[in-house]
A and B are shown apart, each in its own frame.
Chain A
Amino acid sequence: MLKMSLKTMLLAAVALTVGTGAASAGKLTIESWRNDDAAIWKDKIIPAFMAKHPGITVEFTPTAPKEYNAALNAKLAGGTAGDIITCRPFDASLELFNKGFLAGLNDLGSMKNFSDVAKSAWTTDDGKTTFCVPMGSVIHGFIYNKDIFAELKLTEPKTEEEFLATLEAIKKNGKYVPLVLGTNDQWEAATMGFQNIGPNYWKGEDGRKALIDGKGKLTDKAYVDTFAALAKWGPYMGDGYKAQTYPDSQNLFGLGKGAIYAAGSWDISTFRGQKVNMGAFKAPPPAGSKDCYISDHTDIGIGMNAKSANAADAKVFLDWIGSEEFAGIFANALPGFFPLSNSKVAISDDVAQTFVSWRGECKSTIRNSYQILSRGTPNLENEMWNVSAQVLNGAMKPEAAADQLEAGLQKWYKPHQ
């Protein structure tokens, strides 16, 4: 009995895999790691597409995030992967394209709806071929507790001085933690600290590109100044921030014990769940800045299996992913993940709307360690976690932090040698 059912299950599994691989015309399957969003794809996104294109059936078949890369690689190598592939940003997807698993998508009509920054995460190093349609990004900024701001009669800070003055005022009052950010897990220090405020100092894309072609160095004033600005935060980060983990920070702000939270936009839905009355302001630029810059980081894209049996339909689907209609559904179903297309999208979540509105006021850039610069040893991203946490802990001087980053890059990256 057991043997029979096992055999049946195996057969079914094989049949399923074969079915996925050799999709018949009119049927598309999507590979993705976003199993959290499965319901949104099944109930909102796919029905909206199928209403417009009745001849094509789409199925969303996600894998757990931690297993996605390995599972996808195995499926692609074995020829059983779905037609549509959700793309991780930068090197992971670039490797798939170089191996011939992902198709180039330069001829896709909706590609013109995306800026070069949006496409950078899924474009070859020479900038010639784009192989995934940019789908979503996360934006950095600061989320604040409106009730606490009202109680202490504070307003959203517009400049760095005002930001520090606001923190000082909250600290004087003594009831709340002024700035919620911990350094135990290290990545928040780099991501929500350094990459959050940094673009204003290194002028966004200009600075990021200069680092890649070797015209800029991490020891330049912009980077030292970013670390110097971070170093001023320590006294406002509450008791014991050195042992504060990311969930600690989320709870601290979620429970209304902290006034300002150094954020990534994906935190919005967490705090919505905790019913925080919140607002958001962008990274306050230092004195004398003319323009402002935000970290609008490309996080998720979508491309096509080069060996798809149903390439024509897959292109129709990808073209639709680049459309305004998809952008609208995506932005509202997942507040905190923003569509990357240039089309203007109305978002019903007011805090998410605030985040996305900064795109109109400031210039967008992505995290500067993600493209090319984290390919060698020592790994630049790891180094940034380490030194940013140390600067916030007061254990490292801003100049020393910049020196260490540049020295690490010089060890392996030709343009910096």
Chain B
Amino acid sequence: MATGSDAGLMGMSRASYLRLLGFFLAPAVIIYSVFSIYPLLATIFSSLYLRQIDGTYVFNGLGNFVTLLTDTTWSVSFWNAMKNNFVFFLIHMGVQNPIGIALAALLSLPQLKFRAAYRTLIFMPTMLSVVIIGFTWQLILSPLWGISKMLLQAVGMGAFFAPLLGQESTALITVSLISVWQFVGIPMILIYTALLAIPDELADAATVDGLTQFQTFFFVKLPLVIPAIGLVSVLTFVNNFNAFDLIYAMKGALAGPNFSSDIMGTLFYRTFFGNQLQLGDASMGSTIATMMFLIILLGVMVYLFVIQRRIQRYSF
């Protein structure tokens, strides 16, 4: 035991080893504690208080959570935001990630030309500001000056045009698809790099065995990038349940019409910071933020303990 740890000290005394350890760990620990752990704990702490009508706060235990989940004043908006957030997430999982995988597969085709140009162009929207994305798409889809209306009319389908962002039935789906368009570059890049890591020998062997390129992808490469797909899925989940900016930019804090595009992030913002005549309520806002944290925690735990353990990894 003693000899073992002595070997780790590399000839230093125990005290100076610990000092060195502290020196290297300190920056990360301090920054992470101050900017991540402390705010998280403070939020949970603040969710245990109740805002009085005169603006003061009193301790309320888990009362805010009971109110949020059972009092119809709050629970209707909460469950509505939760449902919309799941729709938002499912659209990303069902559209963004398959398209990302398909794009990565196309990009990794050996005979593809202009690979770098495609990769950059598809990744570009991810780097643009959300405000620009929101504004651009609002203009494209605008019933007044939008190009989409003219395009549809040009091919004789003008009757199919609708104010997609303004209808209860279509607003959320439209915003979700815009978000998909923006972020499709991320699954593409992650899976593309995973595909690159697969040794050529495997693909060559599959070719020798008579598999077409399509079959090679499906039966050889895809199973090998499943860990990357798992990672992409969990990133999508975390990002989607933290989402706020695009909906706020396009639909405002009330996420209309009739809260049809309201997700957890916009509900939190409205509650915490207030809106027009609604005064901000820090404790109820923290309650919603804590619920968001719990949902994300639950999702990530399911991934870590149920899915990731069953994923088989291959090392080459």
Residue in A252, A380, A382 whose Cβ sees the most chain B Cβ within 10 Å: A382
B276 CB–A CB distance under 8 Å: yes
User: 19 A-B Cβ contacts within 8 A?
Assistant: A95-B55, A183-B256, A186-B252, A239-B144, A240-B162, A240-B166, A241-B163, A243-B143, A243-B166, A251-B144, A369-B277, A375-B279, A377-B73, A378-B73, A382-B275, A385-B254, A385-B276, A389-B256, A393-B257
| A295 CB to nearest chain B CB (Å) | 15
Chain A residues closer than 8 Å to B257, beta-carbon distance: 183, 186, 242, 389-390, 393, 395
B144 touches A248 (CB 8 A): yes
B251 — nearest CB in chain A belongs to which residue?
A184
- Inter-chain contact A91/B138, CB cutoff 8 Å: no
- Contact check, A379 vs B256: say whether CB atoms are below 8 A apart: no
Assess whether B138 is in contact with A382, with CB atoms less than 8 Å apart: no
**What residues of chain A have their CB less than 8 Å away from a CB belonging to chain B?**
90-91, 95, 183-187, 238-245, 248, 251-252, 369-370, 374-382, 385-386, 389-390, 393, 395-396, 411-412
* A166 → chain B closest CB, angstroms: 22
- B-chain residues with CB within 8 Å of residue A389 when the two chains form the complex: 256-258
Number of interface residues of B (CB under 8 A): 33
Q: Which of B162, B276, B277 has the most CB of A within 10 A?
A: B277
Nearest Cβ on chain B to A409's Cβ, whole angstroms: 12
* Nearest chain A residue, comparing its CB with the CB of B144: A248
**Contact at A381–B144, with CB atoms within 8 Å?**
no
CB <8 Å contact, B168 and A381: no
Closest residue of chain B to A240 (Cβ to Cβ) is B143
Which residues does chain B contribute within 8 Å of A184, judged by CB atoms? 165-166, 251, 256
Q: A184-B251, A385-B254, A389-B256 are in contact. List 11 more A-B contacts (CB 8 A).
A: A183-B166, A240-B143, A240-B162, A241-B163, A243-B141, A243-B164, A251-B144, A370-B277, A378-B73, A390-B257, A393-B166
Residue of A nearest to B279 (CB): A91
Residues of chain A lying within 8 A (CB to CB) of residue B74: 377
* Assembled-state Cα–Cα distance A219/B177 (Å): 39
Q: Find out whether the CB atom of B278 lies under 8 angstroms from the CB atom of A382.
A: yes
Contact of A243 among B165, B258, B277 (CB under 8 A): B165
Interface of B is mostly: loop
Cα(A248)–Cα(B149), bound, Å:
16
Give the distance to chain A from B158, nearest Cβ to Cβ, in Å.
10
* B142 at the A interface (CB under 8 A): yes
The complex places the Cα of A342 from the Cα of B122 at a distance, in Å, of 62
Closest residue of A by beta carbon distance from B161: A240
Q: Which residue of B lies closest to A380 (CB)?
A: B277
Name the A residues within 8 Å of B142 (CB-CB): 240, 243-244, 248
Judging by beta carbons under 8 Å apart, are B258 and A395 in contact? yes
Q: Would you list which residues of chain B between 134 and 161 have a CB under 8 Å from chain A?
A: 138, 141-145, 149, 161
Q: Is the Cβ of A379 less than 8 Å from the Cβ of B275?
A: yes
Q: Quick check: B277 and A91 within 8 Å, CB to CB?
A: yes
**Is B248 in the interface zone, CB < 8 Å from A?**
no
**Contacting pair A252 B277 (CB below 8 A):** no
Cα A381 to Cα B138 in complex, Å, equals 26
Are A374 and B277 in touch, CB under 8 angstroms?
yes
A100 CA to B166 CA in the complex, in Å? Answer: 45
Give chain B nearest CB distance to A195 CB in angstroms. 12
A369 to chain B, nearest CB (A): 7
Does B121 belong to the interface (CB within 8 Å)?
no
CA distance A26 to B166 in the complex (A): 55
Contact A186 B256 (CB under 8 A): yes
- Alpha-carbon gap, A213 to B164, bound state (A): 42
How far, in whole Å, are A389 and B276 apart by their CA atoms in the complex? 16
Contact with A along B249-268 (1 / 0, CB 8 A): 00110101111000000000
A389 to B145, CA, bound (A): 22
Q: Is the CB of A186 within 8 A of B254?
A: yes
